Structure 1
Amino acid sequence: MNTISALIADDEPLLRERLRSHLAALWPALTVIGDARNGAEALELFELHQPDIVFLDIRMPGLDGIATARALARRAQLVFVTAYDQYALQAFEQGAVDYLVKPVDPARLADTVQRLQGRLATRLADGGALDAMLDQLASRLGQRAAAPAWLHWIRASVGNSVRLIPVEQVRYLRAEEKYTLVAWEEGEALIRTSIKELMQQLDPNRFVQTHRAVIVNLAHVGAVTRGMNETAQLHLRGSDETLPVSRSYLQHFRQM
């Protein structure tokens, strides 16, 4: 009997972990081959492992779920994961793929698992119906754009364990060679996500870039000291640490 495999693509680490946990309980024979944080990573992992099923968040930074689904070209069973129930209920009426609404309900996921098992017996959905559904979904999302799903958690290795760090606890992020240092209320950790990628995923009302290698959480800024040549130093609350503000990013702090 062939092993059935799946890929999970969602920009929120906690949601990926919960979906993986629910699937392990409901479908023990299913192998989850990996997690992707965005559409580009999902396509890379798909080409490497060729899973039978892909769980796709509709809203992801960069290549979103709809564009990713088109790029997969009907080579897998698709399950869209969405925070926007009104879109799902109407756009998925054609039944070309399934959907889950965040936060994922185990009972709803159990129904999805049953449908997937049935579809896998007959392989892939009709291509015309899938293309029509993707067009309809893209149209509905374009007509009523939802608020971006900003990053809520950062997954980082700390010693022998993996921590899910709430972004509100992050004080700053700093590029260090091939890694990014995450400094948060309980300590420090290294991740492989670049400063550029993180800036695209973080809420710009809460996080700003101060330097090509530094992002700061504004809630942790206590004071700003102006320097020479249109530069500055940020003083963090409850700490002696300072962070540089280069000329290119000083506009974020002119009113402070």
Structure 2
Amino acid sequence: MPTALIADDEPLLASSLAERLQVLWPDLNIVAVVKNGLEAVNELNRLSPDFAFLDIRMPGLSGLQVASTLRDTRVVFVTAFDEYAISAFDNAALDYLLKPVSDDRLLQCVTRLQRERKPQFDFNALLSSIHKEAAPLTWLTVGLGDITRLVAVDEVLFFQSADKYTEVVTAHERHLIRTSLKDLLPQLHPKSFAQVHRSYIVNLHVVARIERDILGRQRIEIKNTSHTLPLSRSFAGQFRQM
């Protein structure tokens, strides 16, 4: 029996979608209905449903951010007015539903889901294609085995390039994510984070001072830690007032 999760911060819309799906697709087992992105990540990780109907704009994490954590679950985005993303969905997504969803459109979606057998697109590529329109990241999803954790972006001291991964360094932990520094930088708030070297992005709020050695090389000292980061000449201009 196919399974599905619904995530929407409007309970009446979520309930209505669940009821209509049951009518149009009686064999579909709706295993969870949640009201925000954080709950969605937890339940998707726990239940691994076949399908997820994700509202784009939700508290905590957006539907796009939730989708970026998934592997085998097939996703339908639900949106009220995110026209900027619709063209991307047309080219890449399994499907999307524009609120208010008509019965004919929902039936069309159900038919497509019954026909499709595997995810058809790369969520990270989709996120990259619309990051200029999206709000800055507030949470990062990091994984260890079958466990998914959430790390607040504000808690990150710096990001360091590590081969095909990026290392996320906080005051007490280190994590690896698959997003490159190049793709990550545009998703961060420009007033909070800056690239200081080809291998480093730093949280500007934790910069203690800039030190220069006798050879003229500059290094950034991080507040309340022993961490120091190299500051390349090509990125030094943004620190001239410090």
- The 3-state SS of whatever aligns with 2:91 is helix
Structure 1 unmatched ranges of 5 or more: 9-13, 80-96, 100-111, 125-145
Over aligned residue pairs, what C-alpha RMSD do you find?
A: 4.5
Question: Quick one: distance in 2 between partners of 1:59 and 1:223?
Answer: 42
Given the superposition, is the C-alpha separation of residues 122 and 174 from structure 1 closer, same or farther in structure 2, using an over 3 Å criterion? closer
Question: Quick one: distance in 1 between partners of 2:99 and 2:107?
Answer: 16
Match of 1:150 among 112, 133, 136: 136
* Contact persistence 2:220–2:231 (CA under 8 A): yes
Runs of 4+ in 1 over 6 A off after TM superposition: 4-8, 21-24, 57-60
Deviates more, 1:183-192 or 1:160-169: 160-169
Match of 1:18 among 25, 32, 39: 39
Please give the TM-score of this superposition, normalised by the length of structure 1.
Answer: 0.55
Match of 2:52 among 16, 26, 32: 32
Structure 2 unmatched ranges of 5 or more: 8-34, 55-62, 111-131
Please give the TM-score of this superposition, normalised by the length of structure 2.
Answer: 0.58
Give yes or no for the alignment of 1:65 onto 2:65.
Answer: no
Match of 1:242 among 203, 228, 234: 228
Aligned-pair CA distance for 1:254: 1.0
Amino acid at match of 2:162: E
Aligned-pair CA distance for 1:186: 2.6
Superposition map of 1:1-256 within 5 A:
3=2, 16-19=37-40, 31-32=51-52, 37=65, 51=74, 53-55=76-78, 65-71=85-91, 76=95, 78-79=96-97, 97-98=98-99, 119-121=105-107, 149-158=135-144, 161-227=147-213, 231-256=217-242
Aligned-pair CA distance for 1:21: 6.3
Aligned-pair CA distance for 1:121: 3.0
- The 3-state SS of whatever aligns with 1:219 is helix
* Contact persistence 1:57–1:65 (CA under 8 A): no
Identity of aligned pairs, percent?
26
